[in-house]
């Protein structure tokens, strides 16, 4: 096998392992998943999985990094089109669609964070990835204010942290009661808390950016 074909095969194997890891994690949770179960789902030997990832944590972080990149791209597209309260509502709508497309991810992430909290190395790695997520959200939030001459009521980093904490909390609350914290209520509370509003000025500013 040529070096190029070998590299292509390695890349395909890696994608197959990651797809299997996602399925197993979402069904079994992080604690309940094993490299052996992931290998079985992918149709590979454990040796192939170990050749791609050194640990279960490495697989989780590979999935997490990809998800961070995907969500950042989604948020940046929103920021390029919307400002003000309309922009925040669109960010929340996109977030809801993403969560609905993969409903188990929020629970998986909450579980992993609880486990990482008691493992210094896992927590260090998660904190670094989470910081990048917060930086991206903060940048997008700032773009909702500046074009229309508004100032955020608190630092946008704090606002990003609130959004992330709220998303996890709402997901856990709905695990016990699917009707808890209706989306419309969340949206209205955040628009008011973030001191945003829909005005003709906002609409004009958005149009000028297209």
**How many CA within 13 A on the CB side of residue 134?**
17
- Domain count of the chain? 2
Query: What confidence score (pLDDT) does residue 203 get?
Result: 45
User: For residue 37, is it within any domain?
Assistant: yes
Cα 199 to its chain centre, rounded Å, is: 30
Query: What confidence score (pLDDT) does residue 6 get?
Result: 78
Say whether both 99 and 14 belong to one domain.
no
Rounded Cα distance, 164 and 166, in Å = 5
Query: What confidence score (pLDDT) does residue 200 get?
Result: 47
Domain that holds residue 8: 1-53
- Per-residue pLDDT of 112-128, as tens digits, reads 999 999 999 999 999 99
CATH number at residue 67: 1.10.357.10
Q: Which residues of the chain have pLDDT under 70?
A: 1, 3-4, 199-210
Q: By the 8 A CB rule, do 162 and 186 touch?
A: no
Say whether both 69 and 170 belong to one domain.
yes
pTM of the model: 0.87
For residue 83, the surrounding DSSP H or E stretch is none
Q: What is the 3-state secondary structure (H, E, C) of 147-181?
A: HHCCCCCCCHHHHHHHHHHHHHHHHHHHHHCCCCC
Query: What confidence score (pLDDT) does residue 8 get?
Result: 87
Query: What confidence score (pLDDT) does residue 142 get?
Result: 96
Structure-block tokens of residue 155:
């630092």
Query: What confidence score (pLDDT) does residue 204 get?
Result: 44
DSSP H helical segments within the chain, as ranges? 3-32, 35-42, 46-52, 56-81, 84-101, 105-116, 120-145, 156-176, 183-193, 200-209
Structure-block tokens of residue 133:
């997520």
Query: What confidence score (pLDDT) does residue 189 get?
Result: 95
CATH number at residue 1: 1.10.10.60
């Amino acid at each position: 096998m040529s070096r190029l074909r070998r590299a292509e095969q390695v890349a395909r194997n890696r994608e197959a392992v990651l797809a299997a890891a996602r399925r197993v994690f979402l069904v079994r949770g992080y604690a309940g998943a094993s490299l052996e179960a992931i290998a079985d789902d992918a149709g590979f030997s454990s040796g192939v999985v170990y050749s791609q990832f050194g640990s279960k944590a490495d697989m989780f972080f590979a999935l997490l990094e990809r998800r961070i990149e995907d969500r950042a791209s989604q948020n940046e597209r929103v920021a390029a089109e919307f400002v003000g309260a309309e922009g925040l509502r669109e960010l929340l709508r996109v977030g809801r669609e993403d969560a609905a497309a993969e409903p188990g991810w929020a629970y998986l992430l909450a579980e992993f964070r609880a486990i990482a909290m008691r493992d210094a190395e896992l927590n260090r790695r998660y904190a670094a990835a989470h910081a990048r997520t917060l930086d991206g959200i903060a940048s997008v939030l700032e773009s909702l204010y500046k074009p229309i001459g508004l100032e955020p009521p608190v630092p946008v980093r704090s606002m990003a942290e609130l959004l992330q904490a709220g998303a996890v909390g709402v997901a856990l609350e709905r695990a016990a009661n699917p009707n808890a914290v209706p989306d419309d209520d969340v949206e209205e509370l955040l628009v008011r808390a973030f001191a945003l509003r829909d005005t003709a000025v906002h609409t004009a500013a958005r149009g000028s950016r297209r």
